[in-house]
A and B are shown apart, each in its own frame.
Chain A
């Protein structure tokens, strides 16, 4: 079996956000995996995802216990429904987080379209976040 995790992070270095399409049931697996999450098939192939999705909700994070992400705190953390049909959770940019009232108002305006982008995450490794227009 090829190293899947290393290849995914290598793709991010090239600016590509990849998932794995199941050749048996058509499911797009994101993040990638060794067996399809829907039908358990190993007949998977790499496919670039659209990076488009809808932000369903977001909260704040980075306070408790916090050490690893402290340099980013406070930041928004939310759930995105990808165009490909699966849920992904990560840091969200472009939404207000400075007070409970702002977060409540920001959530009242969801779902809203978001776009994936690649940033330098903790430890300098490339990771995927989503940004609201």
Chain B
């Protein structure tokens, strides 16, 4: 008997571009949610009739053409007239929803809850008067970030020259300065991070960059004699020194779904994943990193674990410098040592410290409020031993997932296989 509510099913659509990717083309927001949810129902062996409540995540109503998202999604999920609501903590939403679902199930109010999140970040309605969900055009980066930056303090921070490019630069610089790491060492570490990200994504058919292959293959296609030369070329400019473009997220469209249950053995024989710890911390600009520390400590305390117990870590890598700094804040590495561990190959799926083995927000792509759910999907597959070519070899007894909702809402969840 599991001590805590468990994840019994997961699903996700292919992540990609809604105007180009065959699996996404000609589908509406509700259809993406339904596709992810139906995979999760089938994975769990559960019927919608047995789902007692549902939580929907979605950040950009300008692209999904939906607010009151739970209302708009209910019938499409097979959950007409079930209790449902929308929560929004930006890119940590689906993880927060897992935590909220865990607590609602633990309260005894519900037995089974569906968490589902979906986002369009690459296309939006073509006509701003005649709003039809299938009549779409490419969403320019400027417009995407104008809307996304609603999550940033507009009283002061945004007026004071805030930009996502600068955030990428400052995060990298802060790691370099705190740990006395040279630019040369930082840059070759970030190259190694990207090689890992692309290697992982190249084995993940759900990933946006699956079809693009590894970074090494891409460098050769682009006519470069080495991946190092490609990395430093004008194909990969600085977006905010010392951070290059390939170290940031790739906007994507998609959906993900998770089922949280108090009856893990009732529906299938798959390994249930216990949600042992959950904590979140929200704070407004300016940021000083304290919310990350509070979220990790709170989740570890609830789960009764220490950082040394962690077998698998997932960090929110819209800025890939998170592979360095957040993995240290998590206690997965000692302060100042993550960059060396990355260069030694320890964070690859086949290393002793596996980190973000799906491809993360660059490799899988970043469909904002579906993205944390895609990380959960990967963790569940890895813990069950269903991750295929990128399966982590050692048993995962403790996995930790961290997501940062813009800006900023930090969430941490601790998972254990149910005994």
Q: Which of A's residues lie within 8 Å of B, judged by CB?
A: 5, 8, 31, 33, 56-69, 72, 75, 77-79, 86-91, 100, 103-104, 107, 121-122, 125, 127-129
Contacts and interface: CB of A to CB of B under 8 A. Distances in A.
Contacts of A67: 142, 146
Interface of B: 140-142, 144-146, 155-157, 159-166, 168-170, 172-174, 177, 183, 237-243, 245, 284, 286, 288
B166 A59 contact: yes
Contacts of A78: 170
A72 B159 CA distance: 13
B166 A61 contact: yes
A77 B159 contact: no
Nearest to A99: B241
A83 to B, nearest CB: 16
Instruction: Report, nearest first, the 6 A-B pairs whose CB atoms are least far apart.
Output: A59-B169, A61-B166, A77-B166, A90-B160, A31-B156, A65-B141
Given A65-B145, A100-B241, A88 B286 contact: yes
Given A77-B169, A79-B170, A100-B238, A61 B142 contact: no
Given A59-B243, A65-B165, A121-B160, 13 more contacts: A8-B156, A59-B168, A60-B166, A61-B166, A65-B144, A69-B161, A77-B162, A89-B286, A90-B161, A100-B241, A104-B241, A127-B159, A129-B161
Given A57-B177, A64-B165, A77-B169, A121 B159 contact: yes
14 contacts: A57-B173, A59-B168, A60-B241, A63-B240, A64-B163, A65-B144, A66-B142, A87-B288, A88-B160, A88-B286, A89-B286, A100-B241, A104-B183, A121-B160
A129 B286 CA distance: 15
A34 to B, nearest CB: 11
Nearest to A4: B155
B163 A62 contact: yes
Contacts of A60: 165-166, 169, 238, 240-241
B273 to A, nearest CB: 36
Nearest to A33: B284
A91 B240 contact: no
A75 B145 contact: no
Contacts of B160: 88-91, 121, 127-129
A47 B141 CA distance: 40
A72 B160 CA distance: 12
A59 B240 contact: yes
Given A5-B155, A89-B286, A107 B173 contact: yes
Given A57-B173, A107-B173, A91 B161 contact: yes
Given A59-B241, A61-B240, A62-B165, A125 B142 contact: no
B239 A63 contact: yes
Nearest to B144: A65
Contacts of B164: 64-65
Contact of A72 (B161, B162, B237, B242): B161
A104 to B, nearest CB: 5
Nearest to B290: A37
Given A57-B177, A104-B183, A89 B170 contact: yes
B124 to A, nearest CB: 15
A122 B163 CA distance: 13
Contacts of A128: 160
